[in-house]
Structure 1
Amino acid sequence: MNQISEYKTNTASGLLVAGLSFACLAVPARSQENGSDAFFELDAISISANRIEIPVQQVGSTVDVLDAYELQNGQDIFLVDALREIPGLVLRNNGGPGGTFGITTRGLSSNRPTVLLNGIEVSNPSNGQIMNLGNLFTNSASKVEVLRGPQSSLYGADALAGVISVDTLGPGTSNGGRALFGYGSYDTLDYGLGHSGSNGAFSWQVDGLVHESEGFSSQSPEYGEAWADDDAYDNTTLNGAVKYQLNDSVSLHGSAIYIDTFSEFDPGDPAWIWGVPSSENYATTEQLFVRTGSDFQLSEKWDSSVNIAYSDVDTLSQTESGPYYASGKRYKYDWINTVEANERWTMVAGLEYEEEKNLSDVGNRNDTSLFVENVIEYSDALDVTIGARYDDNSAYGEETTYRATFSYRIEDMDARIRGSYGSSFQAPSFYELFNATYGNPSLKAESGKGWDLGIEKTLVNGKLLFSSTAFGNNVKDKIAWDGVYRNLNEYESIGLENAVRYQLSDSLRLKAAYTYSDAEEDNSAEALRVPRSVASIGGNWSGMDGKLGLNLDALFISSQYGDSSSRSAGTKLEGYEVVNVAATYQVSDLSTIWVRFGNVLDSEYEEISGYQTAGANVHAGVRMNF
């Protein structure tokens, strides 16, 4: 029996066993009293949109706020899969979860959003690559905010395509111990332990999670023996946080996250391989992110925060041609102030200093920045924000960015109109600037402007929520590679995001989304890795007094150009659909069992040209509290 046939047989057997187990055991939804408001995000609070807590209904930018329940509905192991249904996002991996990660945001295929993990920017300081969301466990996330549109006026370089802010479990999230165990296809094993608690003014949280998987062949086994073996992926993540409340107006906090991964990958396009590869290809990463600081009140209307953040990212890719290192450190110091000027005007102002060190190539740089954000409640129905930022970087010079937003609520129509317009920039990485072979020290930072205009409307006595948002981006001096890095003339994208959520009953919730994106680079060529249409549908049902939960989601991606050679040949990656089903059952107050059937239609598709994705698979496990 060949490897593919054996895999399909094992998968079918696994699905049958899991299905029988599910039929006998069943599996949690959140109780009804917790479900309705959070489903529509009516009471959700955003922090990323203005760097202060503000109700989503008053935010002018487009932001999705997902709590732990929504993130874990689908029982996805990694965050990369839990975010695929967010309108405007297209996420991709070359192979399994540990492969090279990419993201398209509102038609911007190579402009990466800023990713924050507990307030820490988690890109690699050396090559600028954002953290692979396939390395972050969904189970450890307590909240995710996806902020779309240009955000450099708040977050500086690399926020041209928006911000993804991830909060992990922290002090006060829960009390007591927790454990999880899971097993599934590809000999995948997941296990973890954690504890949260408090003692007087001191509170803490600590978690350890491990993922071990034999994986699957990330490229076609038909290429040869070197491509036919399974590509393993291992991940060990440790994170912890502490908080100490000195008094009513002063607190101290600290958090740390350590991620250690190992992933195998295939040699690449056989057309570029001379002979049979003589060594295995693999990548290792060690990432440490630490942040400590203090929140305090300078007066009744003046809150202040000082923080120090440290990032240390070491990556090694071992290939046939030798090792490639991308390692760097980042030190960031910030002082953020929130001043209530009057009942309707709040000002947020900050001073930041950042130092980046490239350990694998030439170049260090520092950046000093100052930003101001004005949050104005112009009337009971209208909220407006106006903000600007100044950055002075030792490597690419000075940048000034701005942003304005509005949110207008039409109470008589149960509707809201919102919009934003702003400028942003994306800095060239150390690799793009200083690499001895491919770098270009004359590269300029990309500069962009973007806008969106949206409407939200509730129907059926508030049970049905519809939203539609038009958006556009224009990027100048976009960085591209054609043997050496250079600045393109221009890159443009335009599109429409639509979403519907319907609470059919207390136990059944439905949702659907559709995004259309049209992007061009150099004024004529259709952009790479930008599918014109992305759609998703889903549903979540709870029963047995909230103990049983069933979840279904389906994702549909249209065809797209995967790389420049396929665009030259006029050959696109085929569109595809993926359907996942999950179920949970709360056995007791202390234990919950779950099962997830991934790609139940066993669709064969590629997210990145030449790289396979998982076929039909099943994972199941148990979560316990003690």
Structure 2
Amino acid sequence: MRRVACATVSLSPFLLALPAHAQDADLGDASVVALPEISVTANLAPTSLDKVGSAVTVITGEELREQKIQFVSDALRQVPGLAVNRTGPIGQLTQVRIRGSEGNQTKVFIDGVPVNDPAFGSEFDFSTLLADDVERIEVLRGPQSALYGSDAVGGVINIVTRTGEPGTHISGRLEGGSFGTVNGNASISGAGEMYNFIVSGMGYKTDGISVASENLGNTEKDGYRNGTVFAKGSLSPNEYFDMSGVIRYTSTKTDTDTDTYLPAYGHTGPTDSLQDTTGDDLYSRAQARLSLFDHHWEQIAGVSYTKTDTKYRNLAPTVVTSTYEGSTRRFDYQSNVFFNTPEVFDASHVVTFAVQNEEDGVVSDSAYSSFDRTVNSTGFVGQYQLSLFENLNLTGSIRHDVNEIFEDSTTYRATAAYFIDRTGTKLHGSFGTGVKNPTMFELYGYTNTYSGNPDLKPEEATGWDVGVDQQLFAGRAGVDVTYFNQRISDMITGSGQSSINLPGTSKIDGVEVGLSVNPIDPLTVRASYTYTDGHDATGAELVRRPRNVASLDINYRFLHDRANVNLNIDYTGVQKDWVYNQSYTQTYVVDLDAYTLVNLAASYDVNENAQIYGRVNNILNEDYYDVWGYGEEGISAYAGVKLTF
């Protein structure tokens, strides 16, 4: 993982795959010049990493494979500025908060598809996302509504899966271990001069542990099933035009427990019950890209469609108690113009214009809540990137959103980066504003304990950060320190059995530290630390935002790179959580203890086609809560084999 706040290798959320001809360069040809690493997620248009002023962290697919990570959410625990909360063991609701913002203030893309679910509070549940075939995870921190609209108050998480490489490749993996867990993956991929493709399938099954903590007297095991298939490809008839597409389908079945009143604790908490949740998620996108005037004018047009279908069931006998269907249809167009003015400040310029139109739909059906709503919005984006004297880079963005429910909103963002060649120092900073529209459920939903509030206003945010990124020891080490400051007004919060805009401003600030050291080629050490101080407008500490979060990852390759061992340590400090009274009309604050997760993974390449591996999770057998009352797995061990042809 690149711990340097603004160093990144990325693909734009609007780009599904590099043109096939760009992947087929003869690396042995001395005339081929290595291109600089770039980011386009941070600025929409391609930007060399040393010119990016925003705070960005990238986790590579190689790092995921070194750690044998099975779920993307486990990798995100290592990113500065992020807090991950899972409501129980594997398969349960998993939220990610960036810089103290709410889970539904994180915009998530998978292969260019926006996947926040309008039927799930405009949030993405990371419990469904397996890490197989993920090639890059990019986390962009700070308000990004000027680029990505509502939901991007805290930042953006962009997941990119791998593309086909030259030739034809078949691979498979099978693993088993604790709690009756079996999982695996199979894929076929390839690429030629004008095309690339991949088709992949993944499966995960576990008997699990009790979702409701055994500390509360619960013993029933709750299992989880996940089946995911996806296909992705591109066609590039020449260097000026390419088409690409992706489709991804995930089916899940999750055993759950229920909240009830616990007299011994004086508030609600989970207890064993015969319930489960089934989900079917479809994500898709198609796009075309055209480059004109010797690549000085680039145009990208795309369409995305997502649909989620979630059913909550009581078992024995099986009865569907409620269903929620969410859909998003999105059309987008982006135009980038690149030009230089060497005679004027030796400057280079990128001017971007984009239009993004979305229609979100929610259909809810239960004994308590039934509604069918759609909302349409259109965002107009303008961005200007200016590079002066090669070392000074400035970016300004502005966006105007037209929404059929709420008043029009305008958001903006500015970034700066200055690189000092002599010392290997980069100074960077950003400022931005954000907006988060109320969710459909907050506006119109209702249950036996909740009624929506159609008078809610959008939440508004401002945020800024400044930092320094320093290279050390001839590039073998790098450290960055970034201070961030977030302010959120009209924060939506529960009040009795409904929601309100909390008067005043919620204040969040903190420090992010990243370190990467490569003392010798086989050894890599990566570390991160985040301090977050967040309070709502009343002065109360924000829940599920630990003040202190840290991570250490040590990776060592040996035996001529055939063997690999990885040690990962994730620390989550003390944090607050909410529980409710018997009628769900009042909340109480409880403290969650700090915990440390230690994981060890190792692999050995038997030959060029076969690898055996194993991992042990939670070596210290920590008994901890991410969410009060919901159990987590103790020490567990897994082993597997991977074949590639």
TM-score normalised by the chain length of structure 1:
0.89
1:294 aligns with 2:308: no
Kindly report which structure 2 residues correspond to 1:47-58, keeping only aligned pairs within 5 A, or say none: 47-58=40-51
What's 2:308 paired with? 313
1:328/1:358 contact within 8 Å kept: yes
Aligned-partner Cα distance in 1 for 2:493–2:339: 45
What's 1:327 paired with? 325
Quote the offset at 1:44 in angstroms: 4.1
1:328/1:357 contact within 8 Å kept: yes
Aligned-partner Cα distance in 2 for 1:80–1:109: 16
Aligned-partner Cα distance in 1 for 2:310–2:45: 34
Give the percent of matched residue pairs that are identical in Structure 1 and Structure 2: 28
What's 1:114 paired with? 107
Aligned-partner Cα distance in 2 for 1:287–1:568: 33
Q: Label 1:590 to 1:387 Cα distance change in 2 as closer, same or farther (>3 A).
A: same
Local SS of the residue matching 2:577: coil
Name which of structure 1's ranges 403-412 and 239-248 shifts more when overlaid on structure 2: 239-248
Quote the offset at 1:570 in angstroms: 6.1
- Alignment counterpart, residue 283 of structure 1, candidates 271, 277, 286: 277
Q: In the alignment, residue 374 of structure 1 is paired with which amino acid?
A: Y
1:438 aligns with 2:461: no
Name which of structure 1's ranges 261-270 and 382-391 shifts more when overlaid on structure 2: 261-270
- Output one character per residue of 1:482-501: Cα deviation in whole Å (capped at 9) or x when no partner: 21111112211000011111
1:60/1:406 contact within 8 Å kept: yes
Name which of structure 1's ranges 296-305 and 79-88 shifts more when overlaid on structure 2: 296-305
What's 2:411 paired with? 401
Aligned-partner Cα distance in 1 for 2:273–2:522: 54
- Alignment counterpart, residue 637 of structure 2, candidates 590, 593, 618: 618
Local SS of the residue matching 1:80: helix
Kindly report which structure 2 residues correspond to 1:324-363, keeping only aligned pairs within 5 A, or say none: 324-342=322-340, 344-360=348-364, 361-363=371-373
Name which of structure 1's ranges 42-51 and 237-246 shifts more when overlaid on structure 2: 42-51
What's 2:17 paired with? none
Quote the offset at 1:609 in angstroms: 0.8
Aligned-partner Cα distance in 2 for 1:512–1:88: 13
Quote the offset at 1:127 in angstroms: 3.0
Kindly report which structure 2 residues correspond to 1:554-569, keeping only aligned pairs within 5 A, or say none: 554-563=569-578
1:56/1:63 contact within 8 Å kept: no
- Output one character per residue of 1:322-377: Cα deviation in whole Å (capped at 9) or x when no partner: 72322111110011111113350011211111111112223211011110111111
Quote the offset at 1:139 in angstroms: 1.9
What's 1:150 paired with? 143
1:350/1:372 contact within 8 Å kept: yes
Unaligned residue ranges in structure 1 (runs of 5+)? 1-41
Quote the offset at 1:174 in angstroms: 7.3
Aligned-partner Cα distance in 2 for 1:280–1:435: 25
What is the Cα-based RMSD across aligned positions, in Å? 2.4
- Output one character per residue of 1:280-306: Cα deviation in whole Å (capped at 9) or x when no partner: 111111000110121112332101111
The number of aligned residues is 584
Q: In the alignment, residue 613 of structure 1 is paired with which amino acid?
A: E
- Alignment counterpart, residue 93 of structure 1, candidates 74, 78, 86: 86
Local SS of the residue matching 1:246: strand
- Output one character per residue of 1:379-407: Cα deviation in whole Å (capped at 9) or x when no partner: 22111100100110112221100000001
2:603/2:611 contact within 8 Å kept: yes
Aligned-partner Cα distance in 2 for 1:73–1:454: 29
1:492 aligns with 2:471: no
Local SS of the residue matching 2:442: helix
Local SS of the residue matching 1:195: strand
Aligned-partner Cα distance in 2 for 1:438–1:113: 25
What's 1:241 paired with? 232
What's 1:381 paired with? 391
2:108/2:114 contact within 8 Å kept: yes
What's 1:519 paired with? 534
Q: Which has the higher strand share?
A: 2
1:494/1:517 contact within 8 Å kept: yes
1:170/1:240 contact within 8 Å kept: no
1:362/1:430 contact within 8 Å kept: no
Which protein has greater RCO, CA pairs closer than 8 Å, 6+ apart? 1
What's 1:451 paired with? 464
What's 1:461 paired with? 474
Q: Label 1:495 to 1:278 Cα distance change in 2 as closer, same or farther (>3 A).
A: closer
Q: Which has the higher helix share?
A: 1
Quote the offset at 1:565 in angstroms: 5.6
Q: Label 1:607 to 1:583 Cα distance change in 2 as closer, same or farther (>3 A).
A: same
Local SS of the residue matching 1:229: coil
Q: In the alignment, residue 463 of structure 2 is paired with which amino acid?
A: G
Q: In the alignment, residue 433 of structure 1 is paired with which amino acid?
A: L
Aligned-partner Cα distance in 2 for 1:472–1:206: 43
Kindly report which structure 2 residues correspond to 1:597-608, keeping only aligned pairs within 5 A, or say none: 597-608=616-627
1:508 aligns with 2:523: yes
Q: In the alignment, residue 135 of structure 1 is paired with which amino acid?
A: T
2:257/2:272 contact within 8 Å kept: no
1:390/1:400 contact within 8 Å kept: yes
Local SS of the residue matching 1:486: strand
